Amino acid sequence: MSGVPAAGSSVQAYLHELRDAVDEALEGLLPGLGAPPVLDAALRHALLGGGKRLRPCLTLATAECVGARLGLDSARARTLAMPCACAVEMIHSYSLVHDDLPAMDDDALRRGRPTTHVVYGDGLAILAGDGLLTEAFRVIAAAPSPTAPPGSERSDAERRLRAMAVLATAAGAAGMVGGQAIDLDAAGRVTGRNAPALDRAGLEDMHARKTGALIRAAVVMGAVVSGADEMLIAAVDDYARDLGLAFQIVDDVLDVEGSNAALGKTVGKDAAAGKPTYPSLYGLEVSRRLAVECVDRARATVAAAGLGGRLADIAAWSLARRS
């Protein structure tokens, strides 16, 4: 592995490098799950269907940034963080499988391919999602136990337990699952309830849970497993909070301006379903400005923390992406 690229090299190339490493690791994990062939096929469709791999890339990039501060080389930092990177992508993939179901967002296209339930049916799609969610935590728990990084305040077991707790909180009722519930409620799809009108605070809270929580967990896990102290963990968490909101705002804008081919999913569905989005509340111009403000704060946070690496570049990339 080449590690963190030299200053002037493309962040896009760096993200591709990390994505390839994550894809290789995920491919290697699947045979060890022991799933019967019928389930294995659905798991592969859900997990290995491409995508940006943003969350695991953030885990690895954060581990490299923090590791450099603690004397770890890039390869060592990635080794420490890869189980967490795989776990967060498994949970993200499970969430997409479930979100696409007819009872949720009812989408037929994901990552440029038919969604899992379209190919395998609702029942097997639900089981594939359940399998990915459950196995994600085993991946972290069963990872080899490397020696704790120099200067780390916690043992490997303590860091791993904390990473699992961070991921579970982000994926659970207070985080991603709760955000999806708010989303369903706001779209008028909860039986026996009238759809509430979300203001900016309500919209931000929904996205902080539904999208932002897992992005924050991805970053914080990378810091935790590479031996960061509490001040550094808090700094990267602040960075990820702003990055997650910027990412969602850009997603909302692309749902208006993008194309199915570029995004790999059906565009315009949020508006058609009457879902609240940043463009629907503020218009495209203000939405873009809010995303820029989030990224500016994220970049300032990592600069103030004295972190090098690619976190600031990834934040800037999130504004320019078209998918």
Helices (H), the chain: 11-29, 37-47, 54-69, 74-99, 116-120, 122-141, 156-171, 176-186, 200-207, 213-225, 230-257, 260-263, 269-272, 278-304, 311-320
Angle at 67 between CA 228 and CA 145, to 5 degrees: 80
Residue 192 in any domain: the answer is: yes
CB within 8 Å of 108: residues ≥ 6 apart: 100, 114, 115, 118, 266
Residue 202 in any domain: the answer is: yes
pLDDT block averages, 10 residues each, the chain of length 323: 44 95 96 95 94 96 93 92 97 97 92 94 98 96 65 75 97 97 91 90 94 97 94 97 95 80 56 77 94 97 92 93 81
Residue 158 in any domain: the answer is: yes
Using DSSP, state whether 238 is helix, strand or coil. helix
Give strand pairing partners of 113: 110
Range of the domain at 126: 11-320
The predicted pLDDT at position 4 comes to 38
The predicted pLDDT at position 153 comes to 59
**How many structural domains comprise the chain?**
1
The predicted pLDDT at position 7 comes to 38
Domain CATH code at residue 172: 1.10.600.10
- State how far Cα 103 lies from the chain centre: 23
Residue 6 in any domain: the answer is: no
Residues of 152-190 as b/e, b for ≥16 C-beta within 10 angstroms?
Answer: bebebeebbebbbebbeebbeeebbbbbbebbbbbbebe
Place of tokens 């760096």: 14
d(CA 124, CA 262): 28
Q: Count of CB atoms within 10 A of residue 254's CB?
A: 18
Tokens at 240, concatenated: 């990820």
Residue 101 in any domain: the answer is: yes
Residue 5 in any domain: the answer is: no
Distances (CA, A) of 214 to 56, 59, 117, 126, 244: 10, 11, 23, 20, 9
Residue 1 in any domain: the answer is: no
CB 273 within 8 A of CB 33: no
Instruction: Give 253-287 pLDDT, tens digit per residue.
Output: 998 886 554 455 565 566 656 678 999 999 999 99
Report the sign of the C-alpha dihedral through residues 100, 112, 267, 316, in that order: positive
